[in-house]
Amino acid sequence: MRLRPIKEADLPDLERRWATDPDTVGEHNWTGWSNARWTKRWQEDRLLGERPVLLIEVGATVVGFVDWHSLETGGHGSFCWEFGLSLWPDERGKGYGTLAQRQLAEYLFAHSTANRVQAWTETGNIAEQRSLEKAGFTRESVLRGYSFRGGAWRDVVYYGMLRDELTTS
Amino acid sequence: MSVPVRLRPVVEADLPDLERMFIEPEQLGLFNWSGWSDPTRLTKQWHEDRLLSEEHTLLMVDVSGETVGFVSARKHMTTAYSYCYEFGISLWTHARGKGYGTLAQRRLARYLFAHSTVNRIQAKAEIDNIAEQRSLEKAGFIREAVHKGWHFRDGAWRDEVVYRMCRDELPPMTT
**Nearest residue to A10 via CA among A66, A57, A67:** A57
| Closest CB to A74 among B34, B80, B145 | B34
Residue B164 within any structural domain of the chain: yes
Q: Strand runs (DSSP E) across A35-78, as ranges?
A: 53-58, 61-72
In chain A, which residues have their Cβ closer than 8 Å to the Cβ of B166?
144-145, 153
Residues of chain A with pLDDT under 70: 20-21, 169
Average pLDDT, chain B: 93
The structural domain count of chain B equals 1
Nearest to B13 by CA among B55, B60, B74: B60
Query: What's the pLDDT tens digit per position in A60-108?
Result: 999 999 999 999 998 888 999 999 999 998 999 999 999 999 999 999 9
Please give the residue range of the domain that contains residue A55. Answer: 2-168
Q: Does A168 touch chain B (CB under 8 A)?
A: no
The structure's pTM equals 0.90
Alpha-carbon gap, residue B163 to B155, rounded angstroms: 25
A166 at B interface, C-beta within 8 A: no
pLDDT band at B175 (very low <50, low <70, confident <90, very high): low
Residue B34 lies in a domain: yes
Chain A: closest CA distance from residue B116 (Å): 15
Q: Do B119 and A145 touch (CB under 8 A)?
A: yes
Helices (H) and strands (E) in chain B, counts: 5, 7
**Contact (CB<8Å) B150/A80:** yes
pLDDT over threshold 90, residue B2: no
Cα–Cα distance for residue pair A68/B103, rounded to 1 Å: 37
Nearest Cα residue to B173 out of B89, B119, B109, B123: B109
Query: Which residue, among B83, B117, B120, would best test binding to A if mutated, counting the most A CBs under 10 Å from its CB?
Result: B120
Is pLDDT of B1 > 60? no
Domain count, chain A: 1
pLDDT of residue A77: 86
Cβ–Cβ of A78/B152 closer than 8 Å? yes
B69 contacts B89 by C-beta, under 8 angstroms: yes
Which CATH number is A67's domain given? 3.40.630.30
Say yes or no to pLDDT of B108 above 90.
yes
CB-based contact, A160 to chain B, within 8 Å: yes
Domain enclosing residue B89, as ranges: 5-169
- A146/B120 Cβ within 8 A: yes
**B174 belongs to a structural domain:** no
Contact state of B147 with A145 under an 8 Å Cβ cutoff = no
* pLDDT tens digits for range B21-80: 888 888 777 788 888 889 999 999 999 999 999 899 999 999 999 999 999 999 999 988
CATH number at residue B12: 3.40.630.30
Average pLDDT of the residues in B113-135 = 96
